[in-house]
Amino acid sequence: MSENNLLKGLMDEFMASFSQDSQDAMMRRVNAERLIRLYAGQFIDQHQAESIRILPDQRLAGEDVADFLVQVDDYDLRIVLIDSTNGVPQLTVKYIQEWLDLLEDNPSTAFMIVVWTTDELLALPFSMVQLQTLLKSPEQVEDCLLNVTPLNQLIPVIIQQQVKNWEIDEDLSQKPDERGRDCYSIFAEKIGQAIDKEANRRYKIEERLKAAQEFPYQKEKQVILSILEDALEGKSAKELEYQLTRLPRRGSI
């Protein structure tokens, strides 16, 4: 969305805010919205590469609140403004169910971010799990409020937390100077030498001597390599043992 569209959206939200009863409250809200708009502009500029969008959420526009939608990757954050009469964040339980319903209806929304119309835009993020906990234990609301953080600090932290950056070591893209050889290749080379070594030993037992003298090199090597292939494909020792102990047909040696 272009900057013009964002401003148009903000103006719409601003017009909606005229329904505020209290003039002071309206002024605080207008101020807060302005601050959010300014902050949104800066934030989008700073995070162009990440394609983050902040826009007014028309669906949430109502009499008391004007809200924003922050779209990042495959998730979004929804900002809800709450009036703070004395500059101190306060929260009533009546909002909690409403926000919980909203999160349940929008699986892509990761957090509801509640922003109080204070000068610092103090804010608190709520996940679905946290809202469910507060509904069950409203007495924890006061404790939550102790964690309020200015919105401009909170948003980057939340967005950062939604993705981990695993830096790629430059070495990993460097192909090794000398290529390794897979175990099949090593084995295929070594089996020939091992057969020669075994076949050239001096045997006393007649059959062993004859086996060494008449050893069908190619056939046996092929059998062993074929069974090794099956081993490398994941056949069990028992299955492999069965193959190894299957002798060639009579008369084939």
- Residues between 147 and 166 with contacts to another protein, criterion CB under 8 A: 161-166
User: With CB under 8 A, what is the number of residues at the site for another protein?
Assistant: 72
Per-residue interface string for the shown chain with another protein, residues 22-61, x marking contact by CB under 8 A: -----------------------------x----------
Tell me which residue of 109, 133, 124, 192 sits closest to 157, measured CA to CA: 124
Structure tokens at 83: 């009036």
CB of 213 to another protein, least distance (A): 10
Within its chain, how far is the Cα of 221 from the centroid?
A: 49
CA distance 33 to 38: 9
Could you say whether residue 253 binds another protein (CB under 8 A)? yes
Residues 75 to 94: which contact another protein by CB under 8 A?
A: 75
CB of 54 to another protein, least distance (A): 16
Residue type, 93: V
Structure tokens at 70: 């922050």
Per-residue interface string for the shown chain with another protein, residues 185-224, x marking contact by CB under 8 A: xxx--xx-xxx-xxx-----x-xx-xxx-xxx---xx-xx
CA distance 82 to 63: 12
Other Cβ atoms less than 10 A from the Cβ of 124: the count is 22
Residues 229 to 248: which contact another protein by CB under 8 A?
A: 229, 231-238, 240-241, 243-245, 247-248
